[in-house]
Structure 1
């Protein structure tokens, strides 16, 4: 047999073996239910959806700190080199 006859099938078998090495079972979902991912896309709940879930996004104090940091970022934008 020629070298090409042996190398061709050997490369096919090797590529199939390597393709199977990277396969893993999908991880179980972290959250129960469809939120925060729907149809494979990240989902941002609306204000009404957050209120109806009776979960508070951030406390009023945290909201003030977020606003303060955002204002600081806007006032002093980063410069690129």
Structure 2
């Protein structure tokens, strides 16, 4: 399988990534558009609307990480604390 190509240009959201991640973790249901609007209020003039798709891709990745953490949490739990499903 061919390796995924890396970034072609510098990350335009690098300075705001920690803020975005905190906002996402506090309110994971927020859309990319809502987070971009908040970012534009916090950093006026620094983040244009054209970054919406980039932010949406970032959110997709973070949501995938969260889903994997939930799905595989039982593998990391100590013995005797497994999640059981009703039969």
**TM-score after normalising by structure 2:** 0.30
Structure with more relative contact order (C-alpha pairs < 8 Å, separation 6 or more) = 2
Normalised TM-score (structure 1): 0.31
Which has the greater radius of gyration?
1
